[in-house]
A and B are shown apart, each in its own frame.
Chain A
Amino acid sequence: MLVRLFFKLRAAKIPVSVTEFLTLLDALNHHLAHGSVDEFYYLARSALVKDETHYDKFDRVFGEYIKGIENVADLLLQEIPADWLRKEIERLLTDEEKERIKSLGGFEQLLETLRKRLEEQKERHQGGNKWIGTGGTSPFGAYGYNPEGIRIGQDSSRQRRGVKVWDAREYRNLDGTTELGTRNIKIALRRLRKFAREGAPEELDLDDTIKSTARNAGWLDIKMVPERHNAVKVLAFFDVGGSMDDHVRASEELFSAVRSEFKHLEYFYFHNFLYESVWRDNHRRYNERITLPQIMRTYGHDYKLVIVGDASMSPYEIFYRGGGIDHSNDEAGATWLQRMLDTYASAVWLNPEPEKHWEYTESIEIIRKMMSNRMYPMTLEGLDDGMRQLGRRQGMPKSVAPVALET
């Protein structure tokens, strides 16, 4: 009966297992949700979804399931940055298709319409009766885009009172993962955690010694255990916007993987290069900023620093005061990066740009030098190396003095 819902949920990458599905059926058998769609919704959610970050996805799939319309499930990107979308499309489209778009009025026109629709959707959305939907079967249908026409927004089903519950999508902000299936990256990141458990020297296990001695009827029985640093602490910085748009997807995959792997993980966003402040919430990047000195005061030296960025920019943005791309910074970015490296001895820079292109971009070479070569490509192998580097117990890195270029 509900098998279709089950597979829809799985298709939307909500980790639902057969056990949980059977539990739901069992609950229905016990008349726990009798004759009310609302109750069924609550019951299904509590039986099938075990993480509030999936609530939003669940709401969407459920709404769609109830309406019996085949779409949306794969449309999990709710706010699509136009620049990124365009690049993605350019990458995906064949020349022939591009020609067709031109005949439809060109990119600008289409994007403009799309933007309008998105805005419209955002406004009406608060009323809780619309969302983006896709109708196409083209490869970019998943991104809410179709050269033969954009179909966004659809009528709410007015006759169902309960629909508003999931249509309101109150859990949207909790959705930290726009992309799942990050198994590969997880494996690499796990290495860091594993190291923390093994590599350290042994210490006396007092509890076990007492226990074994007692069990041994008073004969001393010394027990040793590896010293445990149970919590690997990580500060992660993610580059967003600008030239990183191509890599948004890759970084977010890494981001969603990184979230579950450590006990202490603090993540921040920046644009192009580290300056005096960063932000935690992309939607509030202009009013909720955290300064780097604050970060350096708050998080101890034992945190490990992971920076994810393509490091592709003009060298001015690194070395010059006021070189920042969106604002005028009082001190050069290089100074700030150096301060961070002085504070956090364990640091790596992960670069999604293919390694063979690095030498052709001046800024990548500069940053790599500043990181004392600790820049790794964002491949499984690169991550592996990077994590191994982070795991190493190291003294202060050999710092490359910031080059004075100021005039």
Chain B
Amino acid sequence: MTRFAGTDSYIATDDLKLAVNAAITLQRPLLVKGEPGTGKTMLAVEVAAALGRPLFQWHIKSTSKAQQGLYEYDAVSRLRDSQLGDTKVHDIANYIKKGPLWESFQSNAPAVVLIDEIDKADIEFPNDLLRELDRMEFYVYETQQLVRAAHRPAIIITSNNEKELPDAFLRRCFFHYIRFPDEETMRQIVDVHFPGLKKNLLKEALEVFFQIREVPGLKKKPSTSELLDWLKLLLAEDVPPETLRADSKAAIPPLYGALLKNEQDVHLFERLAFMARRTG
């Protein structure tokens, strides 16, 4: 059994690795929560890449139904076809569209399935998937066909905590909460993304970054993905580390738009910077 140990482009902490491996070994879904931008969605992509498995993604919206992950029966186009006298109308199977779960069940090798942001959907959504996730099989009523997974896929589910998930569902999952990385982990993450980054610039940038995260009252604290974007910009603009230092004391860091995504936050930050300049 191959084990997940992070990849060249993804730093996984020990506890995350263990949770992923436990879920894969015991063939149970892994539920991942955490602050936005801590790499929940990326996890599935990286796990698939690391283990060389095909990946099937299912992004959940507020209108998503559990059924759509399995299959959909497109009755409307069948109606249209029947009025046009199309011959394929006689076979109902022509109008069954496979969902990501079905696809993954049919995959020749064990697959990885990402169910992204499961909390976006209706409260009943996870409950509707219990049997399918447990037994890895479902029944297609239209064609009287039982679909069973040839290889049980590894299922990674992400949640942003917008809704509580039902207990029955939680009991079947492994759970991992991705903490916001500490400075050491963050250094590793940045290193993976920008191997050639000047030491000084990185140090200064991380300091500024964690300072901004400490500002009370920010609506949306900058996250890892935003830090990476910002560093990209700093590199592109070739900002020397000294400006960063000078700026962090009294004013706004350059290109702060990459870090602060909310108009009120920018406003708040400018005000604080202004006050700091006046007192300092």
Q: Which residues of A contact B (CB under 8 A)?
A: 15, 17, 19-20, 23, 26-27, 30, 32-33, 38-39, 42-43, 45-47, 49-52, 55, 170-171, 210-211, 213-215, 217-218, 230, 259-260, 263, 284, 287-288
Using A27-B25, A263-B163 as known contacts, say yes or no to A218 and B172 having CB atoms under 8 A apart. Answer: no
Shortest distance in angstroms between B195's beta carbon and chain A's nearest beta carbon?
29
User: Would you list which residues of chain B between 15 and 46 have a CB under 8 Å from chain A?
Assistant: 15, 18-19, 21-22, 25-26, 28, 31, 33
B108: which A residues are within 8 A, CB to CB? Answer: none
Bitwise, B171-182 to A at CB < 8 A (1) or not (0) is: 111111101000
Taking a contact as CB atoms closer than 8 A, the residue among B22, B28, B167, B172 that contacts A43 in the complex is: B22
Using A27-B26, A52-B33, A288-B217 as known contacts, say yes or no to A46 and B75 having CB atoms under 8 A apart. Answer: no
A51: which B residues are within 8 A, CB to CB? Answer: 170, 175
Taking a contact as CB atoms closer than 8 A, the residue among B18, B163, B173 that contacts A42 in the complex is: B18
Shortest distance in angstroms between A103's beta carbon and chain B's nearest beta carbon?
47
Taking a contact as CB atoms closer than 8 A, the residue among A17, A46, A214 that contacts B174 in the complex is: A46
Taking a contact as CB atoms closer than 8 A, the residue among B76, B162, B179 that contacts A263 in the complex is: B162
Is B150 an interface residue, CB under 8 A from the partner?
no
A218-B179 Cα distance, complex, nearest whole Å: 54
Of A43, A51, A259, A287, the most chain B CB neighbours within 10 A belong to A51
Contact in complex: A50, B15 (CB < 8 Å): no
Is B164 an interface residue, CB under 8 A from the partner?
yes
A290-B165 Cα distance, complex, nearest whole Å: 29
Shortest distance in angstroms between A171's beta carbon and chain B's nearest beta carbon?
8
Q: Which residues of B contact A (CB under 8 A)?
A: 14-15, 18-19, 21-22, 25-26, 28, 31, 33, 75-76, 78-79, 82-83, 122, 162-165, 167, 170-177, 179, 216-217
A230-B121 Cα distance, complex, nearest whole Å: 11
Taking a contact as CB atoms closer than 8 A, the residue among A46, A210, A213, A214 that contacts B175 in the complex is: A46
A43-B30 Cα distance, complex, nearest whole Å: 12
Contact in complex: B162, A19 (CB < 8 Å): no
A39: which B residues are within 8 A, CB to CB? Answer: 14, 18
Q: Which residue of A lies closest to B73 (CB)?
A: A211
Of A19, A38, A43, A55, the most chain B CB neighbours within 10 A belong to A43
Q: Which residue of A lies closest to B78 (CB)?
A: A214
A176-B178 Cα distance, complex, nearest whole Å: 18
Shortest distance in angstroms between B13's beta carbon and chain A's nearest beta carbon?
9
A32: which B residues are within 8 A, CB to CB? Answer: 18, 21-22, 25
